[in-house]
Structure 1
Amino acid sequence: MTVMDNLRLDGKKIYITGGAQGLGKSMAEGLAQAGADLAIVDINLEKAQATADEIAADTGRKVIAVKADVTNPDDVDQMIETITTELGGLDVAFNNAGIVINTPAEETSFEEWSKVININLNGTFLTSQAAGKYMLEHGGGSIINTASMSAHIVNRPQPQASYNASKAGVIQLSKSLAIEWAKKGVRVNTLSPGYMATDLTLNSEELKPLIDIWNDWAPLGRMGKPEELQGIAVYLASDASSFATGADFGIDGAFTAW
């Protein structure tokens, strides 16, 4: 068995929340290219289905679309049941759904704060919990939770206290789960991207003025490309990362190394 063999995902069953677009879609493409069968989970079923159809056509893998609200426990339980039934199991849970609201802290309503925390942190707990229960009963697995470099730094110039707090919580939650499940066959890690040049970011009127500022501060002088996260996604989903658990993998072009 070579290292390249260990990186293959043939036969693995994986879901990714927030997988219909952006970073989730790009990482889903990489996982399918490495041989995995996928469930694209999103609140927008139409977009999820379009992404699933596109990836299936490009890779020849089985890819299904599942609608779920990650903040709703019943939705999450049904999501796991649907995925395990239609894919025939679950080896890797990729909890990637998240949002950001840029509002100064003194102007942030409790509704805005709660929305960010509910999707980013509570949603990650519910999906990790549900996937973990299944994996504990079926021989183990790998859970990957998307955090952010914003868990480690305070971004500038945009105000995003709720997002930063939620993503720091994702890392500590994931470490806690990793310790609880370490001897039970379930690995839990986090992926912390830096600024990434998704279509949504590049075309956002709100964010366009910030891109030059971010690039000026970036050691590499640019944002990351979505496909530059595919390698770490495949690694964490694969048997090559069998000794990796409770770790945070920062892919930010050294932005947090200042």
Structure 2
Amino acid sequence: MERSELAAQVVPLMQLSAGPSPFTSPAQPTASLSPVERAAARFGIHGNAIVTGGAGGLGFASCRALLEHGLSGLVIFDLDPTYTATRVLELQTEFPHANISFARVNVTDADDVNRNVEAVMQSLGSVDILLAFAGVAYCAHAIEVSVQEWRRVFDINLTGSFLCAQSVAKVQAKIGKRGSIVLVASISAHRVNFPQPQAAYNASKAAVLAMTKSLAAEWVRYGIRVNSISPGYMDTILNEGDGLKVARDTWNDRNPMGRMGVPEEVCGAVVLLSSQAGNYINGADLLIDGGQTLF
């Protein structure tokens, strides 16, 4: 834009929800239900979900949790069709009445994302929940990180999350149903990790936090709540191997609980943010780290 054009530009204005809007009103009262039924309704999961990176440790545990709480349809977006197919079969065996499938999707390709989100809409009728677990970790001294690697980390962790969120938000707004989008940040978004150097990863996850708040402010008028979770160090295959022993010992020593988390411990936050229990939670980030970030 030329300097002469700057004074003439018109800035788009954000539109907030009106209080009585059916998209942002309180949940319907459940006084007619028994206490047990009210508890179940509060954390019940309804409709259909897309989970990117759903074949991985945290994503898979979250898929199972959504199904346990009543999810009807699930589509996992992942790049590894062979491994994802085995995970889908495992879930389908455990939840025979749910509609569970997967699609090979490159989350950094907008056309691929849009095409597959639309396919989910056609097959299931709605996308009520998005969990964006697809991401990549990268450790290297910042002085040695190539621009290609820096951009790759941001492209997957930040741009990929945005493209999926944007595509799902468009279809949710179009059909006029409330929805929940849960993006995945990290404790790395809140502080510098130690002892491993990972500036690109930390910066990409901090950007996810900022993006979450922006999307939450813009999209809630459509009934779409956007939140994030920030898992701490988790005991998954990504943190196995003798080469990580020094790092694991350091992480455990610096955690008030003295250990890493397990994938199941992410599920409570996911269910909360995806259910009626999280109806007034918007633009929040939930730390799931055993207190790792206290120091």
User: TM-score per shorter chain, which class?
Assistant: over 0.9
Q: Residue 58 of structure 1 aligns with which residue?
A: 94
List alignment gaps of at least 5 residues for structure 1: none
- Map Cα deviations across residues 75-124 of structure 1 (whole Å, 9 max, x no partner): 10012012222222110011111101101000001111011000000101
Q: Residue 34 of structure 1 aligns with which residue?
A: 69
1:244 to 281, 285, 288: 281
- Structure 1 CA distance for aligned equivalents of residues 63 and 80 of structure 2: 16
Q: Residue 74 of structure 1 aligns with which residue?
A: 111
Q: Is 1:7 aligned to residue 43 of structure 2?
A: yes
- Structure 2 CA distance for aligned equivalents of residues 88 and 182 of structure 1: 21
- Map Cα deviations across residues 133-191 of structure 1 (whole Å, 9 max, x no partner): 11111223100000001100100010100000000000100100000112221100000
Amino acid at match of 1:53: L
What is the aligned-residue RMSD (CA, Å)? 1.2
How many residues end up aligned between the 2 structures? Answer: 256
- Structure 1 CA distance for aligned equivalents of residues 136 and 68 of structure 2: 27
List alignment gaps of at least 5 residues for structure 2: 1-29, 31-37
- Map Cα deviations across residues 29-74 of structure 1 (whole Å, 9 max, x no partner): 1111111121111011122221111111112222111110000001
1:118 to 155, 179, 197: 155
Deviation at 1:250, TM superposition (A): 0.6
1:137 to 157, 161, 174: 174
Q: Residue 53 of structure 2 aligns with which residue?
A: 18
Deviation at 1:216, TM superposition (A): 0.5
- Structure 1 CA distance for aligned equivalents of residues 292 and 94 of structure 2: 33
Q: Residue 163 of structure 1 aligns with which residue?
A: 201
Amino acid at match of 1:48: T
Deviation at 1:205, TM superposition (A): 4.3
**1:3/1:240 contact within 8 Å kept:** no
Amino acid at match of 2:185: A
Amino acid at match of 2:43: L
Deviation at 1:3, TM superposition (A): 3.2
Q: Residue 189 of structure 1 aligns with which residue?
A: 227
**1:40/1:51 contact within 8 Å kept:** no
Q: Residue 291 of structure 2 aligns with which residue?
A: 254
- Structure 2 CA distance for aligned equivalents of residues 16 and 98 of structure 1: 12
Q: Residue 44 of structure 1 aligns with which residue?
A: 80
Larger mean CA deviation between 206-215 and 73-82 belongs to 206-215
- Structure 2 CA distance for aligned equivalents of residues 197 and 121 of structure 1: 23
Residue aligned with 2:156, SS: helix
TM-score computed with the length of structure 2 as normaliser: 0.84
- Map Cα deviations across residues 179-204 of structure 1 (whole Å, 9 max, x no partner): 011222110000000000013322x3
